[in-house]
Amino acid sequence: MKIGYLGPEASFTHHAVKGAFSDEEHVPYTTIPDCLEGLITAQIDRAVVPLENALEGSVPITVDYLYHDADVHITAELVSPIQQHLMVHPENESRWEDVGRILSHSHAIAQCHKYLYYRFRGRALETSTSTAAAAKYVSEHPEENSAAIGNSLAAHTYGLKIVEHNIHDYHFNHTRFVVLSRNPILDELRLESEAEKTTLMVTLPSDDRPGNLHQVLSAFSWRQLNLSKIESRPLKTGLGNYFFIIDVEQSFEGVLIKGAIDELEALGCTVKVLGSYKKYSIVQK
Amino acid sequence: MKIGYLGPEASFTHHAVKGAFSDEEHVPYTTIPDCLEGLITAQIDRAVVPLENALEGSVPITVDYLYHDADVHITAELVSPIQQHLMVHPENESRWEDVGRILSHSHAIAQCHKYLYYRFRGRALETSTSTAAAAKYVSEHPEENSAAIGNSLAAHTYGLKIVEHNIHDYHFNHTRFVVLSRNPILDELRLESEAEKTTLMVTLPSDDRPGNLHQVLSAFSWRQLNLSKIESRPLKTGLGNYFFIIDVEQSFEGVLIKGAIDELEALGCTVKVLGSYKKYSIVQK
């Protein structure tokens, strides 16, 4: 099976792909739309892209593309802890505290803001297009004594030495990746999994009444269906028109969730089922 | 007044700052936390950062920092249309269709995915750390006949010629920026504005019952208070714990919204008022 992912090699998405699909072929793409187009045109069998709280990708781009363009289905969710490490060229291991400048993706620098402030205040921080690109640069310039911030895969890929582990500010921070396929199937992976869940995209009736959303949630609430996520997104048909992404903590096979969807459609809502799937945890090495 | 913003110069945030605070001093910052720390430590009087659907910044970073770290207040919202243009060095204006490669921020490349696919299929796409950095590179390498994707401010700043206007795929796409201050005040700007709104951060009671969120929304719904945005975010105290960002289309001075907040607190919710402010539209030139 060919697994496309948001690259470059050694990105956080690549790390999740290696954890979930270790025996398959991995194909990097430059952007999220490129990766989804690769799936739609059958260059690959699965696309893995970040959905929430990601480093390299933007959540809105994934969500909007799924809503507006792509007729694809979520087959699994991969949840990976964000672990940022400080790494240098092996030649500079003994003098890493005198590092001249520190390179990484702007989001990674932001996630290690407090560490950098208290440990390396005043040191030059330079942004790169990805954490992997920062690691590559450091590996190619041992004479500079610069450091990169990134994941353990980037250190391994580019032969760098991790000198401080887990320098990110928040230790319960995770990135959610979705595995996408052209067909609505359920991927069973050899990883620890939690209960199934179902992701819906709901567009409210066009009359923008206060309480419309409240009525939508009633359909879930009285059935005791728990929602683990709800998010409004602009419809791009003008300001003030929204659709909602709702995660229900139940498989689509349950009779209750089908009843809720029927009720929403009777209320004038449009409901798109993005997938019914399992959530898997990726362990960082 | 000193206005800090997410840089670099000629970024989309800078464009919004120029539109809203044309007569003030502008100070670029490398990351969103840096900009917010600059505000807290009184290096600047206002911080302007992207909140939603941004190019250079990540929404989660802004929202999480406001929730977890920064005791700051929203004083205004700036809404700017995303308009991406294709620009080349003036020396290459006549041969722009033969451009060798196209540079921009990965999100900008993603936003122009269809244009690039139909117009420049197979041409090399290269990511840069920002749209402004792409424009700067193109301005310094006329011999390459490369093009950048970015905003009109970047073209102006780096002396490039726009050869195709509005090449982005979705024409109703906007970026929301927030103006932040250390004190809860209301910024009155000389721009077209819509009605006031109030942004709340609500943490649900710790018992994770189905229907908790529904009960929260009831407090707004029976008062006919319209919500223009709702989004759940992980609390970072473990998976499955969420807080909600809710935009209410009314000033905090209204008696109804205060009643709703009192009711939420009586239900065991924690409510933080991030600001009561006006939304202003930035017009791109």
For residue A134 the two structure tokens come to: 């920062």
Instruction: Summarize pLDDT for A210-223 with one digit per residue, the tens.
Output: 667 788 888 888 88
Do A244 and A114 sit in the same domain of this protein? no
CA distance A203 to A235: 9
Residues A61-110: tens digit of each pLDDT: 777 778 877 789 999 999 988 899 999 999 999 999 999 999 998 888 98
% of residues, chain B, pLDDT over 70: 92
Question: Region B198-213: what's the mean pLDDT?
Answer: 78
d(CA B43, CA B22): 19
Q: Tell me the pLDDT of chain A averaged across its residues.
A: 87
**B14-41: average pLDDT:** 93
CA distances from B37 to A112, B26, B272 (A): 14, 16, 20
Q: Is the pLDDT of residue B8 over 80?
A: yes
Answer yes or no: do A58 and A89 share one domain.
no
Distance (Å) from the C-alpha of residue B185 to the closest C-alpha of chain A? Answer: 25
Residue B149 lies in a domain: yes
Taken in order B14, B180, B195, B249, the sign of the CA dihedral is positive
State the average pLDDT over residues B63-85: 87
User: How many other CB atoms sit within 10 Å of the CB of residue A188?
Assistant: 11
Domain-located, residue B282: no
Task: Give the integer Cα–Cα distance in Å for B69 and A83.
Answer: 20
**B237 chain-A contacts, CB cut-off 8 A:** 172
CATH code for position B116: 3.40.190.10
Give me the amino acid identity at B229.
Answer: K
B283 assigned to some structural domain = no
- Contact at 8 Å (CB) between B238 and B283? no
* Per-residue burial over A60-96, b = 16 or more CB atoms within 10 Å of its CB, e = otherwise: bbbbbbbbebbebbbbbbbbbbbbbbbbbbeebeeeb
Partners of residue B128 in chain A, C-beta under 8 Å: 129
Interchain contact A129–B (C-beta under 8 A): yes
* pLDDT for B81 beyond 50: yes
Which tens digits make up the pLDDT trace of A205-258? 776 666 677 888 888 888 888 887 888 776 655 545 678 888 888 888 777 888
More confident residue, A262 or A250: A262
- The verdict on A30 and A94 lying in the same domain is no
Domain that holds residue B262: 193-277
In this structure, is residue A102 part of a structural domain?
yes
Which range (A98-102, A176-180, B56-60, B251-255) has the least confidence?
A: B56-60
Rounded CA separation A29/A11 (Å)? 11
Q: Which of residues 36-75 of A touch B (CB under 8 A)?
A: 37, 52-54, 56-61, 64, 68
Q: Which residue of A has its CA nearest to B210?
A: A226
Both A241 and A266 in one domain: the answer is yes
The pLDDT of residue A25 is above 70: yes
Helix (H) / strand (E) containing B75: strand B73-81
Question: Distance, in angstroms, between A166 CA and closest chain B CA?
Answer: 15
Report yes or no: B206 at the A interface, CB cutoff 8 Å. no
Structurally, how many domains does chain A consist of? 3
Is B221 among the domain residues? yes
pLDDT, position A238: 52
pLDDT value at B172 more than 80: no
Task: Say if B218 is an interface residue toward chain A (CB within 8 Å).
Answer: yes
Q: Is the dihedral of CA A93, A98, A101, A106 positive or negative?
A: positive
- The whole-number pLDDT of residue B236 equals 58
Contact B224 A211 (CB under 8 A): yes
Spatial contact of B77 and B279, defined as CB atoms under 8 Å apart: yes
Among A1-10, A55-64, A257-266, B161-170, the least confident range: A55-64
Q: How far is B106 from chain A (nearest CA, A)?
A: 6
Report the residue from A64, A125, A234 with minimal CB separation from B30.
A125
ipTM: 0.74
For the cut 70, the answer to whether the pLDDT of residue B207 exceeds it is no
Cα maximum dimension of chain B: 68
On whether residue A240 sits in a domain, the answer given is yes
